[in-house]
């Protein structure tokens, strides 16, 4: 799978995904920090990448209908600190990598993964 990691997530997530055999770019690494959400969603889609983010605005299905993108994964940990987010992502990563994300919004919470 191909991923784009939003600037609000630790860059180490890209490394974790690469170690697992996936392609992962970061928004910051591409010089796209501060880019509007609509541009990030479109860019990820045009590159065939699943967008990982903590930005609830990107999860608005009225603005970004699931069928119109390559997939969005919204991480919603209870604690937003860098280390806590890494632990949260790493706990859920195996399950996420087994799911079909194309045209879907996946919301990851401490209680599980919801698919829209």
φ and ψ of 14, to 5 deg: -60, -45
Query: Helices H, strands E: what count in the chain?
Result: 3, 6
End-to-end CA distance of the chain: 19
* CA dist., res. 80 & res. 96, Å (int): 19
The answer to whether the CB of 97 falls within 8 A of the CB of 1 is yes
CA–centroid distance for 108 within its chain: 10
Read off the CATH number of the domain in which 23 is found. Answer: 3.40.50
pLDDT tens, residue by residue, 57-89: 999 999 998 888 899 999 999 998 999 999 999
DSSP character string of 32-54: -TT--HHHHHHHHHHTT-EEEE-
Rounded to 5°, the CA angle 68-18-55 comes to 45
pLDDT at 68: 86
Domain count along the chain: 1
pLDDT at 36: 94
Give, for all 116 residues of the chain, the pLDDT tens digit.
999 999 999 999 999 999 999 999 999 999 999 999 999 999 999 999 999 999 999 999 999 988 888 999 999 999 989 999 999 999 999 999 999 999 999 999 999 999 98
pLDDT at 109: 97
pLDDT at 8: 94
pLDDT at 43: 94
Full residue range of the structural domain in which residue 52 is found: 2-115
């Amino acid at each position: 799978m191909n991923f784009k990691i939003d600037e609000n997530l630790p860059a180490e997530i890209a490394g974790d995904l690469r170690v697992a055999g996936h392609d992962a770019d970061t928004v910051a690494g591409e010089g796209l920090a501060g880019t509007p959400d609509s541009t990030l969603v479109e860019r990820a889609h045009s590159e065939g990448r699943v967008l990982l983010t903590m930005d609830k605005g990107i999860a608005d299905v009225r603005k970004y209908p699931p069928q119109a993108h390559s997939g969005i994964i919204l991480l919603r940990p209870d604690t937003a600190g860098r280390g806590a987010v890494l632990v949260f992502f790493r706990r859920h990563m195996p399950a996420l990598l087994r799911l079909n994300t194309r045209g879907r919004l996946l919301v990851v919470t401490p209680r599980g993964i919801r698919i829209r």
